[in-house]
Amino acid sequence: MNRYLISAYPFGLFGGVLALVGFWVFYLVDLDPITMSIVFNFVNLSLFIGISIYYFKKYRNNEYLSFAHGMSVGFFTYVIIATISFLGIYASLSVFPEVFGELKAERVQMLETEGVGLREQVGENAYLKTLEEVKDMRVYHFPLNDFIWKILFGLFLSIIISIILRRNKL
């Protein structure tokens, strides 16, 4: 397990910091950092999971990579990225509560603006319940959402990349 973690942590660390920087860059250029982070994270995770699995295969395991090896390295990479991103976003939104307030207000405004269409799709009760839940959001909801997306994307990408880079011993 140690060699998997050693192969994953530099790429996970850099990927996590890049995800956090991406969140704040999107905020500062007036793009929705929550939505844009989801798109950015797909690219970020693909890059760093791929590099970490390739690094393990090439430099730590003599050009051999089983599916289990790839999944293990990928798991450590995406968990490190997700954890660093979660902690960074949570800490920064706690330090800057006005940013959290803006993000929350944008979500409420979006629900109210699209309310007619949503009411028809999901019904009045579901719409009102969702609106109430968004109004009751806490600081940890945004980073937790980001964490969950990273874990889901990371699992999916680890499977795909492990299959692509898999190589049996000759």
Task: Flag the least confident range among 54-68, 76-90, 100-114, 140-154.
Answer: 100-114
- Does the pLDDT at position 122 exceed 90? no
* Contact of 111 with 130, CB cutoff 8 Å: yes
Beta-carbon-side half-sphere exposure of residue 150 (alpha carbons within 13 Å): 33
Q: What was the pLDDT predicted at 121? A: 82
Rounded Cα–Cα distance for residues 107 and 19 (Å): 21
What are the angstrom distances between the C-alpha of 69 and each of 6, 16, 92, 159?
13, 21, 35, 11
Rounded Cα–Cα distance for residues 162 and 141 (Å): 31
What are the angstrom distances between the C-alpha of 77 and each of 103, 130, 134?
28, 33, 31
With cut-offs at 50, 70 and 90, classify the pLDDT of residue 117. confident
Mean pLDDT, rounded, of the chain? 92
* Contact of 45 with 38, CB cutoff 8 Å: no
